Amino acid sequence: MLPRGIACIAVGLTAGLQFLFQKKARLKPLPEKAHADKMPIGYFGFAKRTQDGVHVLGVLAFGMFILSVAVGALRGFPDGQAVPFQPVTRIGYMLIVMTFFAILIWQSFRGSRSIMSTTIWLMLEMFGIFAVTAYAAFPGASDIGAMFTTVFNAGMTGFMWYLVIAFSSFGKRDPYYYAAAGWTVYILPRALARSGIVAIAPYASGEALQTAIVAGLILASAQVVFIQLVWVDHREKDGADSSTSKSIQTLLGLDDVDDVPDDPESIRRALMQNNTRQLQEQFMLSDRETEVLTLYAMGLTQRKIADELCISPGTAHTHIKRIYAKTDLHSRQEILDYIAQYTG
């Protein structure tokens, strides 16, 4: 997109930034020693309970399905064929995408509670409306509408990755299962919609019907998602039980979702206990050593482990030495690395 000389200079300057960031990173505490303030707001900003988070996840996945049909109809508008970009629209697309994701990152650093639910959804639908409007306003310059459509598509791709991660964190199935399901929900409707446009374009008398269908799909996704988000927030404030769909629970492998701990610390401990139980089977650790290992891997000091298990610090130290001897892992980081590589 840029001239070769300018592109090389830009890449060189960008690569040089890594040394500045590396120097700043070394001044920060190690991840296992950091104590960040945590809020039980889940992946989407406000669902404090696991049941509510699962329900929101299902709602957003369904909304993504509707938007996928819309973006499929917009790609190659009006007959489904590829739209060539002009240099101006290519640069415009680049600037809009960079600004879009920069805003998301900035809002995330500010600690916005709604960035990955309402904010990103509003922005995605905004780009969809911009694309429909540009196609209608500039029928002779389809690349203007295609510019917004490509931004719309890029935003949905990034959000789908986020949904896959959220599904993997909430559910108990293999991450590839969620990745395959998520991308099928996104890619398949988009492809079918574009194929349908190609098939019916020769028989269409104009672009009005296609424009109305796309606008209707965007409106439908907005209605479905925002009504459900308001419902979840209302149920949470009233303290009512969430009636998460049985199909969503089954999809996530959370048929026993009511037994899942709701606060992040309990969830983190439950996950670590599952990992250390696997180490217990591999290295023949005792039950007490497994308890100590769980707390030690979570970042607790020997004194805090002793207080937690009502034992003396010397006993906790002895258990840790035995764990080192049995596992041949001689630091907390080695244990965490082993867990990350061989368990889960």
How high is the pLDDT of residue 235?
Answer: 60
Q: 58 and 194 share a domain?
A: yes
Q: 173 and 77 share a domain?
A: yes
How high is the pLDDT of residue 30?
Answer: 59
Of 252, 287, 306, the one marking the end of a domain is: 252
pLDDT tens for residues 12-30?
888 888 888 888 777 776 5
- Tell if the pTM clears 0.95, that is, is over it: no
In a domain, 198, yes or no: yes
Q: 222 and 282 share a domain?
A: no
Say whether pLDDT at 50 is over 70.
Answer: no
Q: pLDDT-derived band of residue 274, with 50, 70 and 90 as boundaries?
A: confident
- The tally of domains found in the chain comes to 2
Q: 188 and 58 share a domain?
A: yes
pLDDT tens for residues 74-88?
887 877 778 888 999
Q: 225 and 118 share a domain?
A: yes
Listed in sequence order, the residues at least 6 apart from 267 whose beta carbon sits closer than 8 Å to its beta carbon are 50, 260, 261
CATH number at residue 319: 1.10.10.10
In a domain, 187, yes or no: yes
In a domain, 195, yes or no: yes
Residue range of the domain that includes 69: 40-252
In a domain, 5, yes or no: no
Q: pLDDT-derived band of residue 263, with 50, 70 and 90 as boundaries?
A: low
Say whether pLDDT at 211 is over 80.
Answer: yes
Where helices occur in 29-86 by DSSP H, the ranges are 50-74
How high is the pLDDT of residue 36?
Answer: 45
Q: 246 and 284 share a domain?
A: no
Q: 203 and 312 share a domain?
A: no
In a domain, 147, yes or no: yes
In a domain, 18, yes or no: no
In this prediction, residues 153-172 reach a mean pLDDT of 83
Q: 72 and 199 share a domain?
A: yes
Q: 221 and 282 share a domain?
A: no
In a domain, 257, yes or no: no
Q: 212 and 76 share a domain?
A: yes
In a domain, 277, yes or no: yes
In this prediction, residues 266-285 reach a mean pLDDT of 83
In this prediction, residues 150-178 reach a mean pLDDT of 83
Alpha-carbon distances of 238 from 47, 60, 158, 235, 312, rounded to whole Å: 13, 22, 33, 5, 44
Q: 273 and 315 share a domain?
A: yes
Q: 166 and 247 share a domain?
A: yes
How high is the pLDDT of residue 5?
Answer: 82
Of 232, 252, 272, the one marking the end of a domain is: 252
Of 190, 223, 252, the one marking the end of a domain is: 252
Amino acid at 145: G
Average predicted confidence (pLDDT) for the chain: 79
pLDDT tens for residues 120-150?
888 998 999 999 999 888 888 889 999 999 9
